[in-house]
Amino acid sequence: MSHEFLTNELDENTKALIEKMENEINEKDKELSPKDEEIRKLKNELEFLKGVISNRNRKIFGASSEQVDVNQLSFFNEAEKHSDSKVEEPTLEEITYKRAKKSNYTGKKDNLANLERVVVEHKLEGEDLNCRECGEELTPIGVKSRKEIVKYIPAKLIIEEHVIYSYACKTCERATGESKIVSPEAPKTIFYNSMASNELIAHTLILKYQHAMPLYRQETYFDMMGATLSRQTLCNWTMSAADALEPIYNHMKKELLSRNYIHADETTLKVINDNGKDSKSKKYMWLYMSDTNLKPVILYDYQSTRSSSCPKNFLGDFKGFLQTDGYTGYNSVSGATRVYCLAHIRRYFHNIIVDLDKEALKNSRGVIGFNYCEQIYKLEKELRESYSNDENYYDIRFKIRTEKLAPIIDNFIDYVEREIKDALPRSPLGKALEYAKKHLPGLKNVLLDGSLEVDNNAAERAIKPFVIGRKNFLFANTAKGATASSNIYSIVETAKANNLVVERYLVYLFDNLSKIDIYDSESLENLMPWNDKIPENMKIKDKKQINPSKAYSCLTRIF
């Protein structure tokens, strides 16, 4: 057997052995592939659960504010330089600490300038006015001191009995044989033949809708004042007041839909008896409001579902800018230009980095997205501080945003597109990137008009009074009651936003609604909270006045 033959035979055996080993490796790879996929899913699930636990703990034990150390802005370039997309997000370390209780004193001087002032002079009288030494009368030489006391005058209920007399001319009666009887006009209240005065109705509404006092507590409140008013009576007054105020609500809605810019939001509500529908299912209170810079309008709308038909039916053919969170139901308002909320995008990234220390932040990919949000807010703050008093503020903001904000948003979008490829979909970072990818293009629409805001925080603030009231009321008994509440809340909150003393304004409405034609648009306009004909004694003084020219683009429609 030659050497060449042995070499060839050895090569063949080696090749067969190598081929066999490669096949075995491939078989092992096939067996391990599902395991690798399972490990990847378990890691994804672990990161997801870590995020859920961290967020839950923060809601229970942490501060509700989403503020962070301003020095984190400086981490932006550092994060880009040192971070590695292949490194997993760092594990959150749970840190417990003791927090000092904050003092209730805010350091702000109380403002009492709007209160009625009564001067009480303390002078010597009678025998005290005579000198104790010589008996002569003392002569005033000046004021020793002045002391101001804020005095509370308890409310009280009285029965105001109106006696209407009739008069006749006896001379005409003798001459003609006819008696012409004349009587003075009786005072009118919003409810015909009701014992409730307009002032009492307004007070019960304010207690319920501005101070969140349920009717069963009002029952006790009035009982301590000496009047027995049942909850049923108070409920009847509330429902009747909502009916009487409906023309005001409808006119406000007409005004809102004429604007170019609307914020919207929604929250849940429990209704016990909603026309036979399941009482356990969620019902919704929707909120729609204008820009708050001039003639603000805030409207609530009760609906039994969160269907996309709700904003569609309320807003109809609205063709301006509609700013909301990411809920797709608002897409049904097809004529509107959607503007998304930066605060919601920021919240996802904030939840990732809020518990990380400085070293962990350097390796976190989430801090990059968070700092893009901070850059946008920093620019907006600089614009407000520098130009908000300028009558051309919106034009200036539009121009500067085009130059400075547009590149930030574009870079933010590029970052999201780059990072989302390697992020675990169910991880906190993956969810943040997915949400940002969907909504950053809509956020970019703020560049279309200088009057637009980068977030929907105005709507979230406006819906809080209802949320606070909901905690006290727990539920509405009927759908009709929930609708009545939405009407009254709308008028109360719109009056507050226009700097009115709400209780006085409600009395003013009740006094005048019975005197006007409620189908006359001009008459209703004169009663609106923003109208110049509203009496001065209903306006809260010392509020910052808005320059009308700054808000012009909010009141005009772009087609």
* pLDDT tens for each residue of 159-212: 988 899 998 888 888 888 887 888 888 888 888 778 899 999 999 999 999 888
- 420 vs 416: CA distance, rounded Å: 6
Per-residue pLDDT, 551: 41
What pLDDT shows up at residue 553? 40
Q: Which of 333, 332, 314, 341 is nearest to 257 (CA)?
A: 314
Quick one: tokens of 350? 């904030």
Q: What is the pLDDT of residue 36?
A: 78
Residue 51 is predicted with a pLDDT of: 64
CA-based nearest residue to 287, from 269, 273, 260: 269
Quick one: pLDDT at residue 95? 42
Question: What pLDDT score was predicted for residue 219?
Answer: 92
Confidence of residue 501 (pLDDT cuts 50, 70, 90): very high
The per-residue pLDDT for range 474-491, each reduced to its tens digit, is 556 778 888 998 999 999
C-alpha–C-alpha distance, residues 223 and 93, integer Å: 55
**Closest of 355, 486, 392 to residue 61, by C-alpha:** 355
Q: Which helix (H) or strand (E) holds 271?
A: strand 271-273
Question: What is the pTM assigned to this prediction?
Answer: 0.75
Residue 30 has pLDDT above 50, yes or no: yes
**Is the confidence at residue 25, as pLDDT, over 60?**
yes
What is the per-residue pLDDT for 239?
Answer: 92
Q: What's residue 342's pLDDT?
A: 95
pLDDT at residue 74, rounded to an integer: 44
Judge whether residue 385 has pLDDT over 80.
yes
User: pLDDT tens for residues 394-419?
Assistant: 999 999 999 999 999 999 999 999 99
- Measured distance CA(487)–CA(491) in Å, rounded: 7
Q: Which residues contact 345 (CB under 8 A, 6 or more apart)?
A: 373, 432, 435, 436, 439, 440, 443
Higher pLDDT, 73 or 482: 482
Does 127 score more than 90 pLDDT? no
Higher pLDDT, 39 or 286: 286
Give every CB contact of residue 494 below 8 A, 6+ residues apart in sequence.
252, 296, 297, 298, 299, 529
Q: Which residue type sits at 288? A: Y
**DSSP designation for 98:** -
Q: Confirm if 501 and 539 have CB atoms less than 8 A apart.
A: yes
pLDDT band at 83 (very low <50, low <70, confident <90, very high): very low
pLDDT tens by residue, 515-530: 899 999 999 999 999 9
Please give the pLDDT value at position 519.
92
Q: Check: CB of residue 258 under 8 Å from CB of residue 235.
A: no
pLDDT at 67 over 70: no
- The 3-class SS string of 288-356 reads EEECCCCCCCEEEEEECCCCCHHHHHHHCCCCCEEEECCCHHHHHCCCCEEEECHHHHHHHHHHHHCCC
Give the DSSP per-residue string, 15-66. Answer: HHHHHHHHHHHHHHHHHHHHHHHHHHHHHHHHHHHHHHHHHHHHHHHS-S--
Percentage of the chain lying above the pLDDT 70 cut: 81
Is the pLDDT assigned to residue 64 strictly greater than 90?
A: no
Q: What pLDDT sits at residue 543? A: 52
Q: Please state, rounded to an integer, the average pLDDT across all residues of the chain.
A: 82
Picking from 458, 480, 506, the residue whose alpha carbon sits closest to that of residue 207 is 506
Count of other CB atoms within 10 angstroms of residue 45: 13
